[in-house]
């Protein structure tokens, strides 16, 4: 049997889906985003698949580079784009 998903797993996956959506909307590749944020190119797909959750500093940088609100990446309702 597979491991049941807990709240942390669901949260990581939700953040990953929003990160993926924001990256596609911004027209960025995983490699370009990794370079812009200063992380390894392997880190972005791991985040997008919900395998890892970024720290606050990385999350803030991701949001800034993608032009979205950090709260939106974390699940806030509404549009993600900064106004």
CA distance 25 to 31: 15
CA distance 20 to 24: 6
Q: Which residues of the chain have pLDDT under 70?
A: 1-3, 80-83
pLDDT of residue 82: 61
Q: What is the pTM of this model?
A: 0.87
Angle CA 42–43–47, to nearest 5: 125
Question: What is the widest separation between alpha-carbon atoms in the chain?
Answer: 46
């Amino acid at each position: 049997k597979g491991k049941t998903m807990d709240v942390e797993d669901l949260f990581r996956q939700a953040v990953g889906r929003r990160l993926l959506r924001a990256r596609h909307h911004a027209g960025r590749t995983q490699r370009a985003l990794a370079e812009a944020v200063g992380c390894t190119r392997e880190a972005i797909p791991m985040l997008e698949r919900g395998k890892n959750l970024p720290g606050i500093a990385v999350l803030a940088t991701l949001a800034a580079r993608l032009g979205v609100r950090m709260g939106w990446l974390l699940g806030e309702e509404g549009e993600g784009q900064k106004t």
